[in-house]
Structure 1
Amino acid sequence: MSIEVLNETDHEIDEGEFVAISRYVLSEMRVHPQAELCIRMVGEDTMTVLHEQWMDLPGPTDVMSFPMDELEPAGEGQEPEEGILGDIVLCPSVAMKQAAEAGHATIEEMLLLTTHGILHLLGYDHAEVDEEKEMFELQRQLLLTFLAQRGRETGA
């Protein structure tokens, strides 16, 4: 898998964490091992421009996804398609505020947002109640399993 992490902010980012969660989610979702993903960290000004341009909504947001080849998870017995998954754009300063409000670490919020962004790239959405329930449960399950595995690996 080709996963590129670009940090255009002053926030210190452990690129390895974002590569690890991305590899885990893409593997669990049965995405082709040669799929390409780019994760871009931007400031609030850049995120505001993107949010207004693409969603017609004011101000910055936490995460946006820009799919390329519209890859989907491979079903049982299917071969995954090779291609470019797309780009995820994260705003660390918005994530930091959300983490403080939720009472957890900023890195956990950003890993959650990365998982959320990947699911959007794979065609998941939360516009309807049933879609939201499915997407958020899958997101929660993927993140908790990743964090549990990471804890075992680091001895935490």
Structure 2
Amino acid sequence: MSVEVLNESGEVPSPCPEQELADLARHVLDQLRVHPRAELTVTLVDERTMSALHERWMDLPGPTDVMSFPMDELRPGRGEADDDLVEGVLGDVVLCPSVARAQAARAGHAVGDELLLLTTHGILHLLGFDHAEAAEEREMFDLQRTLLLTFLAQRGRTTTAAPEAGRT
């Protein structure tokens, strides 16, 4: 699994260690049986950059917390065998730590937890999950929470981050 994390936000150190974001991404991709040679990039950006992306691609003003840019439209593996896995570039997840920080403060949890949740959310979007309809939302947010909690449990941690994050 090739996961690259780039901190272009200007925040040093990052509010969530780049290695932890990469480890989480690998965990999510492994759990969802994505091809082991799939490629993913997670980039942390400042509000100005996120605002420009948000306006260009969503036609919405101002920064948002997370955006996903799929490439090869990879999907989770479905069967027991790996014969349904497709190799390729999953795409890019773009995070805005300053927006995540404000959301975490309102929700009462750590900004690092918020960034982990948003990373999971972004990856699920890359894999074709959505939350436009109520049933889709339940499926996506249940899976998002399960993936994050299992990742943190493996590290002996918990989170108070809500599964509803990433709605914007």
Shorter-chain TM-score tier: over 0.9
Verify: 1:2 aligned to 2:2, yes or no.
yes
Counterpart Cα distance in 2 of 1:133 and 1:42: 29
Determine which of 37, 55, 71 is the counterpart of 1:34.
Answer: 37
Instruction: Write the deviation string for residues 44-96 of structure 1: whole angstroms up to 9, x where unpaired.
Output: 01100101111111110000000000000010235211100000000000000
Letter in 1 for 2:9: T
- Equivalent residue runs for 1:7-156 within 5 Å: 7-11=7-11, 12-13=13-14, 14-79=17-82, 80-151=85-156
Q: CA deviation at 1:10?
A: 2.3
The root-mean-square deviation of aligned C-alpha atoms, in Å, is 1.0
Q: Extract unaligned runs of 5+ from structure 2.
A: 158-168
Distance in 2 of aligned mates of 1:103 and 1:8: 26
Q: 1:103: how far off?
A: 0.5
Letter in 2 for 1:134: E
Tell me the TM-score normalized by structure 2.
0.88
> Which is helix-richer, 1 or 2?
1
Runs (5+) with no aligned partner, structure 1: none
**Pairs aligned (count):** 152
The separation in 1 between residues aligned to 2:81 and 2:92, in whole angstroms, is: 25
